[in-house]
A and B are shown apart, each in its own frame.
Chain A
Amino acid sequence: MNPIDPRVHQALDGEISPDSLPPELRRQVERLEGAAALLARVPELGVERRVMASISRPAPTRVRRLTRWLVTPHSLVLRVRPLWSVALAAVAVLFAIIPVRETGPRLGQEEGIAQFVARFPGAQSVAVVGSFNDWAEGSIPMEDQDHDGVWRASVVLPAGTHEYMFVVDGERWVADPLAGRYVEDDFGRENSLLIVRPAHR
């Protein structure tokens, strides 16, 4: 990180006038002030109704708060004597070597599992389309079981690189915002990119 001239900081803190700075430093001040101005856009969201509805309800009782705490996941730290850890590890190994009936699909050597997750509150349907299903809707429908707007699908796919998009309500095509990898689709848009690793590795 390159340090900025202290006079730039002074100007941005209102301690000196930017006009007193040489042009190069004044440009830095303008760049940063311009960036801040662009970030000053207020999002088109509103929470007033939601907040007023919440405060109209009576505050949760102590019992209800306790119940909520009990069912919410928390991280717990366990302190165990080394002798006990050895014993626990031995029990774990015993379970690992005794065959347990496996559930879930049988995967081929060149197959893996892809997990798709996306947030589309208010959507009626979401599907995954891509190079693995000839871009046809209907073969990989996603599910929103909790009706919280979070859609999921867990799919067995050939290992390798795949391009895909989501289709929302049968008409809106969207690249996966959580994909992290994108390529141009050569039709003026972007596809998300997925790398499926072989499950047997």
Chain B
Amino acid sequence: MSIRSDPSDPEVVARVLGGDQEAFGILIRRYEPGLLRYATRMLGSGDAAADAVAEGLVRAYRHLASCREPARLRTWLYRIVVNRCKSHLARHATRDVSLEEAPPMADPADTEAEVERAEQVALVERALERLSPEKREAFILKHVEGMSYEEMAVVTGERIPALKMRVHRAREALLEALEEYR
């Protein structure tokens, strides 16, 4: 019995460019979680992140033919969304904080472990917020999105030595912030 595997990115891109609009949904489902996670961490708001990612994906669809290496679609999509997030940050002096992002009130039904985890996440988010946008971007792409420095160079347009320096500084700043909050 043969097992049908998910189509690769180049296969899906070829289908979309051939007129199968619905196939773009495969790419959205594949990359939406990571893109939303990145944008939420950068912009501090679920609403702003959804806007940035949705606009980025629409743009990606309209310019899909210009993606020269469909095998590296992931970095191409991230590049579009990273730039959208930079535009948003440039337009807004302070990060948005939406109601959904506000620290939740403790619910008596939460277990102790869930409450503790929520507190730990809030602590790390506060520490991340203290980083400059460049350092925050570097840390998230490297350690949360799991990119290599080569991938980060494609996504950000920066050189690898500069990216390494930014990641190092981000780690130092984050560790210092986490120590302060302990």
Contact = CB atoms under 8 A, between A and B. Distances in A.
A41 B105 contact: no
Interface string B108-130: 00000000010011001101100
A118 B61 CA distance: 33
B13 interface: no
A33 B143 contact: yes
B172 A43 contact: no
Interface residues of B, number: 50
Most B Cβ at <10 Å: residue of A9, A45, A121: A45
B171 A12 contact: yes
Interface of A: 1-4, 8-9, 12, 28, 31-33, 35-36, 38-43, 45-48, 50-52, 54-56, 59, 118-121, 174-175, 177-178, 189
12 contacts: A1-B169, A3-B172, A4-B168, A4-B175, A8-B171, A39-B41, A45-B50, A47-B36, A48-B29, A118-B99, A121-B47, A175-B102
A35 B127 contact: yes
A50 to B, nearest CB: 5
Given A55-B58, A121-B47, A177-B101, A32 B171 contact: yes
A35 B50 contact: no
Given A1-B176, A177-B101, A51 B28 contact: yes
B62 to A, nearest CB: 6
A39 B170 CA distance: 15
B137 to A, nearest CB: 13
Contacts of B117: 38
Interface string B139-173: 11001100000000000000000000000110111
A6 to B, nearest CB: 9
Q: Is the interface of B mostly helix, strand, loop or mixed?
A: helix
A82 B168 CA distance: 49
A38 to B, nearest CB: 5
Interface of B: 21-22, 24-25, 28-29, 32-34, 36-37, 40-41, 46-47, 49-50, 53-54, 57-58, 61-62, 96-99, 101-102, 105, 117, 120-121, 124-125, 127-128, 139-140, 143-144, 168-169, 171-176, 178
B114 to A, nearest CB: 13
A31 B36 contact: no
A118 B102 CA distance: 12
Given A48-B25, A51-B28, A40 B57 contact: no
A51 B140 contact: no
A48 B36 CA distance: 11
Given A4-B175, A12-B171, A35-B174, A55 B54 contact: no
B99 A119 contact: yes
